[in-house]
Amino acid sequence: MSEKISPDTSEMIGKVNFLEWDSSFFGLRIGKAIVSTQKELEELSFIKDSLSGLYDLIYIFSNNDITPPIPDSILVDRKVVYSMVVTEPSCFDNHILEYKDQFVSEDLLKLALASGEYSRYKLDSHFPPNSYERLYTRWIEQSVNHSIADEVFCYMVNDCPKGLITLKRDNNSGIIGLVATDPECRGMGIGSAILQHVKHYLFTKGGKKLDVATQYDNKAACHLYEKAGFTVSSCTNVWHWWLNNSK
């Protein structure tokens, strides 16, 4: 016999959105909840038994510092979105080329995986093995075939990509997806060069605003964006609440 759900419990369950793509990709029942108060977080915690019959994992997003989090949840990310107004073009760097091949080379894949060094999908070991690698492989594959990105640019050294950046255009705005520099080439200005290139490219297409997300703990990335003229537009705490995992 199924559990009887009270109206209040049903209302709280309704605040968790089922994520079809994530669930299918990871082979888990995954939901997402956006909370803004400690009370909302506590209400979710109270109906854990009901939620565990529906979900294996719930992503909890909050723009506030809500403490303590739900017991057994893991703070996996402090997501920072940087934004800038694109007002002036910058010079192209002749090392940077558009990636036009539909095939993802081994070197390009290595850069894509390097871009997720601080990813919550890599840091949270509760996911099935190789989840992070599968996710970022899919990300770069769908970027080069232009299903989730309009442009992929690489910083080339001796015909080998040493820097990567992907861009999605939406009306007058641009969103940077993957950003990476070969670990052996860091400190050579490659990151700054590919950012300047994308700024110039977006400007030539009539773009006025550029956004990029990273993790607060990724200090190198935060410094890179701030040095390039980006400012913080939002910060979001992300927890993973595993409901059916004994690990």
What does the domain layout of the chain look like in residue ranges?
A: 7-71, 82-235
Can you tell me the mean pLDDT for 123-145?
96
pTM of the model: 0.91
Options 3.20.20.30, 3.40.630.30, 1.10.3470.10, 3.40.190.10; CATH of 82-235? 3.40.630.30
pLDDT, tens only, 45-93: 989 999 999 999 999 999 887 877 788 899 999 999 999 999 876 666 7
pLDDT, tens only, 208-221: 999 999 999 999 99
Q: Say how far apart CA 40 and CA 106 lie, in whole Å.
A: 45
pLDDT, tens only, 20-41: 999 999 999 999 999 988 888 8
Q: How far out from the chain centre does Cα 22 lie?
A: 13
Backbone torsion region of residue 99, taken as left when φ is above 0, otherwise alpha when ψ lies between -120 and 50, otherwise beta:
beta
DSSP track, 102-149: SS--HHHHHHHHHHTTT-HHHH-TTSPTTHHHHHHHHHHHHHHTTSS-
